[in-house]
Structure 1
Amino acid sequence: MGKPRVLLFVAILLLLFLHKPLLRNYFILEQRELIIDYSRIHQLNPALVSAMVFVESGFNPEAESHKGAVGLMQVMPATGQWVAQQLVWRDFTVTDLKDPAKNLRIGIWYLAYLKRNFRQNDNLALASYNAGSSYVSSWIERGVWNGDMVKVEQIPFPETKKYLIKVAVLKKVYRYLYPELDS
């Protein structure tokens, strides 16, 4: 997303901020309690997770990507199986990823795992969630990107750049619309 498009997106959001009820109709927060509870258990910001869910699936628990990602947090089936093993979740099946509570449990655990692996940096964890850990590790090792949003344009994957910008903006939106996410 070029700078003019980002600025336009931010300007539209700022205009909409003047009408909070309208914004709440668009920026929904379904599964609020689960997001807050699981985020806090794993020491993640609930507004960040809410923004991420909005970007990933628009809060559609039935969402499926063309790459095979499933549910609210668009968890890949192999990732879901791996996380389930880490959680000693013996009866996990891929269809569990369409269950909001189970998808959030897996997705939030995985994001927290990535954050631990990437120096507690939200941006590196989000980039890893979107692009894959091996790519993000490679960018760090080669000095391509260090997780600083000021240098987000250095990320070689356009989709990941857009993803990080959207989540960052929407995190602010969710914090504004739903102050309980920060309490």
Structure 2
Amino acid sequence: MKLTYLSESVRYGRKRQRGLTLVETLIAVVIGIIILAGAFMVAGQVLTDNRLSNTETDIASLESGVKQLYSGQGSYNGLTNSVARNAGVFPESMIGTGTPVDAWQGAVTLESGASLSADFGGDFAIQFAHVSESACIKLATFQYGSWVEFSINGTALYAPGNPIAAGSSPTTLASADCSAGDANTLLWVVG
């Protein structure tokens, strides 16, 4: 006589379940979607922070490059994008298609103070167009106080003889002035 052992599921007439049920599969898919959405949100913030960091580096590089190019000349007369580009002042990251652009693909302009106004004849300006609102607010406080003038969309955040009012902060003022969505224009006047 041969002994045969039957498994518990066979003896009691139950089949053993293999794989996932539809509900379990849907739960796994929803969890996966939530994880992906979180990853995209984090990646978006990292990209924004990276653009902002690169822009701050580019501004400092432009400032030092122009000052070095015009050292000993007494003024920045004649400064244009063409002159700065031919002299290698623009960082490579800004010269994509030939025209200098910022991290948001807006035009970047360098010009001498003489073309800005008589008040800034010995200075030069760095202008970025099409800056996002969140970046605009953060860039408004970048090296705050080290510029001759800084303006947002044509409104001076600070300028000679135009100090910030008591009780105001650069961040508060920038929040009000960075009102053009993703098309804010920032102007730094460098002495």
The bucket for the TM-score relative to the shorter chain is under 0.3
Q: Taking CA–CA contacts closer than 8 Å with sequence separation of 6 or more, which of the two structures ends up with the larger relative contact order?
A: 1
> Which of the two has greater strand per residue?
2
Larger radius of gyration: 2
> Which of the two has greater helix per residue?
1
TM-score normalised according to structure 1 size: 0.25
